[in-house]
């Protein structure tokens, strides 16, 4: 190809305040109000005989739980994702609290993805509320395609989304956040200095809180400052590989392809207890939770047609220290009894000297259940 690689057009589509927006389709009377999604499952609104709705307010909530999503009205009051609900109640006591309803979100997720796939089938799933779309093979202008996709999503779900179309995933991801909600942003490499460089480094997908702090100590706050940083300084701080990636990202360079069919690497279940549990004093309760987690993971594997060889557990102590142990079996399994047996072996290798707040069970090293040789054959001694 004399012209080199064909120019790519990658879209990133992000549903606007997804969980909250789905909840508002269930409770349209709450439109325009500060609404927060999260917490335990028991905050379900109830309706009086005379038709009046009653909702839980943030100030009424007691116990553990964080905000998963909030409407833009609630965000304006300081209710942001991952914030503890009782903490958020200090600045937004009257905001309405709704419990998460994943079944509904999954249904809407399937609807919007199917609507996009009708127009552009090369989709990479990035979770329940966002996707990348490869538009390189399409003829229409990015503006026309973007509008068409947004209209299709609205038609199928009644919900709005924000889209950016750019030469690669990195820029598309940054771009979809530039004009939220209901945005359509078009970016080219020529836009990088004007539209990307003024942004904080944390806007780059892959630069989290730790890296942001470390860059800050080097005097680097914006993506533009990162682009101008001395490579030796970055390499000394972060190592060669990460430094190279940082520099490429700051210049908007990213060659990653759309992955339309990523394989599952691990399946896990975990739960944070309502109160911290004592390894001995609450033994029966812990044991029951442990069994349930093993059964849930086994059920998830069976549903996905997967079996796995490496069984792992995760514990979090009351001081938030987290430890993991894992153990690889001879043969992959999805059997809850075998998973539990291996998980118990892992558990025995941990000093249980504090109260626990979380327990988790994980299966990795996965393969398709159909690939497994018949038991009798696998058990042969030669």
The residues of the shown chain that bind DNA, judged by CB under 7 A, are 62, 64-66, 68, 81-82, 84, 86-87, 126-130, 173, 204-212, 239, 241-242, 262, 264-272, 300, 309-310, 312, 319-320, 322-328, 346, 349, 357-358, 360, 364-365
CA angle 304, 305, 306 (to 5 degrees): 90
Q: How far apart, in Å, are the Cα atoms of 314 and each of 49, 326, 327, 363?
A: 46, 9, 12, 11
Distance of alpha carbon 278 from alpha carbon 96, whole angstroms: 34
Which tokens is 283 given?
């033994």
DSSP helix/strand/coil, 250: helix
Smallest separation, CB 166 to DNA (Å): 15
Distance of alpha carbon 36 from alpha carbon 40, whole angstroms: 12
Smallest separation, CB 48 to DNA (Å): 28
- Residue bearing tokens 């279940």: 269
Smallest separation, CB 265 to DNA (Å): 3
Closer to DNA at the Cβ: 137 or 240?
240
Distance of alpha carbon 291 from alpha carbon 312, whole angstroms: 14
Closer to DNA at the Cβ: 147 or 181?
181
Before 181, cis peptide (omega within 30)? yes
Task: Exactly one of 23, 73, 124, 130 is catalytic; name it.
Answer: 130
Closer to DNA at the Cβ: 143 or 179?
179
Which tokens is 54 given?
């009653």
Smallest separation, CB 275 to DNA (Å): 8
Which tokens is 122 given?
């090369």
In whole angstroms, what separates CA 374 from the centre of its chain?
36
Closer to DNA at the Cβ: 73 or 124?
124
Distance of alpha carbon 270 from alpha carbon 293, whole angstroms: 7
Closer to DNA at the Cβ: 48 or 351?
351
Mapping DSSP onto H, E and C, the string for 112-125 reads HHHHHHHHCCCEEE
Distance of alpha carbon 332 from alpha carbon 379, whole angstroms: 13
Smallest separation, CB 365 to DNA (Å): 6
Residue 346, CA atoms < 13 Å, CB-side half-sphere: 26
**Residue 220 DSSP code:** -
Distance of alpha carbon 215 from alpha carbon 206, whole angstroms: 13
Residue 154: count other Cβ atoms within 10 Å of its Cβ. Answer: 15
Distance of alpha carbon 361 from alpha carbon 207, whole angstroms: 28
Closer to DNA at the Cβ: 32 or 281?
281
Active site residue 270: no
Smallest separation, CB 355 to DNA (Å): 11
Smallest separation, CB 106 to DNA (Å): 12
Closer to DNA at the Cβ: 78 or 138?
78
Distance of alpha carbon 92 from alpha carbon 359, whole angstroms: 31
Closer to DNA at the Cβ: 60 or 143?
60
- Are 95 and 69 in contact by the 8 Å Cβ rule? The answer is no
Give me the active site residues, please: 130
């Amino acid at each position: 190809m004399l012209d080199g690689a064909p120019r790519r057009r990658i879209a990133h589509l992000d549903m606007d305040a997804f969980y909250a927006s789905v909840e508002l389709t269930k409770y349209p009377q709450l439109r325009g109000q500060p609404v927060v999604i999260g917490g335990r499952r028991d905050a379900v609104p109830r309706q009086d005989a005379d038709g009046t709705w009653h909702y839980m307010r943030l100030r009424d909530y007691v116990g553990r739980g964080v905000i998963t999503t909030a409407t833009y009205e609630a965000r304006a009051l300081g209710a942001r994702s991952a914030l503890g609900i009782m903490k958020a109640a200090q600045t937004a006591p009257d905001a309405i609290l709704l419990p998460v309803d994943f079944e509904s979100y999954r249904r809407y997720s399937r609807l919007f993805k199917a609507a996009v796939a009708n127009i552009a089938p090369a989709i990479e799933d990035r979770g329940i509320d966002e996707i990348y779309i490869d538009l390189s093979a399409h003829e229409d202008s990015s503006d026309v395609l973007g509008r068409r996709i947004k209209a299709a999503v609205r038609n199928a779900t009644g919900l709005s989304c924000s889209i950016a179309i750019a030469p690669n995933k990195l820029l598309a991801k940054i771009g979809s956040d530039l004009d939220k909600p209901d945005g359509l942003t078009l970016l080219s490499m020529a836009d990088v200095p004007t539209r990307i460089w003024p942004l904080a480094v944390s806007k780059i997908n892959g630069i989290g809180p730790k890296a942001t702090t470390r860059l800050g100590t080097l005097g680097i706050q914006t993506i533009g400052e990162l682009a101008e940083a001395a490579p030796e300084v970055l390499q000394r701080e972060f190592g060669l590989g990460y430094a190279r990636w940082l520099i490429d990202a700051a210049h908007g360079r990213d060659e990653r392809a759309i992955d339309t069919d990523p394989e599952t690497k691990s399946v896990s279940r975990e739960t944070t207890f309502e109160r911290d549990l004592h390894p001995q004093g609450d033994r029966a309760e812990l044991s029951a939770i442990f069994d349930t987690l093993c059964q849930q993971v086994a059920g998830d594997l069976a549903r996905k047609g997967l079996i796995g060889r490496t069984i792992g557990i995760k514990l979090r102590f009351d001081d938030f220290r987290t430890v993991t142990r894992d153990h690889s079996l001879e043969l992959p399994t999805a059997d809850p009894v075998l998973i539990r047996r291996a998980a118990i072996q892992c558990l025995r290798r941990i000093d249980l000297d504090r109260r626990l707040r979380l327990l988790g069970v994980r299966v990795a090293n996965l393969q398709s259940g159909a690939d497994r040789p018949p038991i009798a054959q696998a058990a042969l001694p030669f």
